[in-house]
Amino acid sequence: MSLYLYLLLLLVIYVVLIHNFLRNKKFHFKIIIALSISLIFIALFQNIKNNEGYAVNQDLPESFYILNSYIDGDNLLILIKEKNREPRLYRMKKNIDLNRFIRKYNSLKKDGQDVVVKKHSSPNKDSLGMYIESVQKKLPPK
pLDDT in tens, 23-72: 776 777 767 777 888 888 888 777 776 666 667 777 788 888 888 888 88
51/86 Cα distance (integer angstroms): 11
The average pLDDT across 17-23 equals: 73
Sign of the four-CA dihedral 120, 63, 66, 93: negative
Q: What is the per-residue pLDDT for 64?
A: 87
68-118 pLDDT, tens per residue? 888 888 888 888 888 888 888 888 888 888 888 888 888 888 877 778 888
Q: What is the per-residue pLDDT for 44?
A: 79
Q: What is the per-residue pLDDT for 50?
A: 63
Q: What is the per-residue pLDDT for 75?
A: 86
Region for 53 from its dihedrals, namely left if φ exceeds 0, alpha if ψ lies in -120 to 50, beta otherwise: left
137/106 Cα distance (integer angstroms): 18
pTM of structure: 0.57
Among 140, 72, 65, residue whose Cα is nearest residue 109: 65
Residues 90/5/37/47 CA torsion (nearest 10 deg)? -20
Backbone angles phi, psi at 88, to 5 degrees: -135, 140
